[in-house]
Amino acid sequence: MKVLIAVDSSDVAQRAVVFAGKILAGRNDVEVTLFHVVESIPEFVLAESKQGGSMNALRLVADEWAESNRLAGERLLAAQREALTRAGVPATCVHERLAQKESRPESCRVVAALAIIDEMKRENYDVVVIGRRGTSSTIPTLMGGVAEKVAREAFGRTLWVVD
């Protein structure tokens, strides 16, 4: 069984990992992928900023920000991997995948949802685990935007939405 667990830095994502760990503990017939999306500044934004003459400084800031996000994402995936193995999921069954996507701040949730959907379809996972609401939990809805978009595209898969 192939299981995709989409994670971010929210408490709900941590609970989703713990929940999946309880269900999958001790099973050697699973392949679990922890998946996290990090953002970088879109190239076209940097190109448009060229008009101001400070392209090198802006490029440096953008590269440092992307690298910082990547490192934070790797630390997050390592911590979630540890949580799964502590729960009893064999370490050999757990894999990590970090996707770096260009995103403007106002579209980061859409970009994250599309990246999760792409991964879900590309690797044809049987089960997808996602938190009901991620880091945007202040918006009063039944499900967060990312979880809702993933649920709409999860045809033929089992979806565990954890709160």
For residues 3 and 129, is the Cβ–Cβ distance under 8 A? yes
> pLDDT category, 108, cuts 50, 70, 90?
low
> pLDDT category, 107, cuts 50, 70, 90?
low
Kindly list the structural domains of the chain, giving each domain's residue range(s) and its CATH number in brackets, ordered by start.
Answer: 2-162 (3.40.50.620)
Mean pLDDT across the stretch 114-138? 85
For the chain, what is the mean pLDDT? Answer: 85
pLDDT higher than 80, residue 40:
no
Instruction: Please indicate whether residue 136 or residue 127 has the higher confidence score (pLDDT).
Output: 127
For residues 144 and 132, is the Cβ–Cβ distance under 8 A? yes
pLDDT higher than 70, residue 151:
yes
What's the predicted TM-score (pTM) here? 0.84
pLDDT higher than 50, residue 27:
yes
pLDDT at 48: 60
3 state SS for 135-151:
CCCCCCCCCCHHHHHHH
- The token pair at 71 is 């490192």
pLDDT at 59: 73
Q: DSSP letters along 76-140, please?
A: HHHHHHHHHHHHT--GGGEEEEEEEEE--GGGHHHHHHHHHHHHHHHTT-SEEEEESS-TTTTS-
For residues 16 and 5, is the Cβ–Cβ distance under 8 A? yes
pLDDT tens track for 51-81: 555 667 777 777 888 888 899 999 999 999 9
pLDDT at 140: 44
What region, left, alpha or beta, does residue 133 occupy, with left being phi > 0 and alpha being psi -120 to 50 degrees?
beta
Mean pLDDT across the stretch 89-101? 94
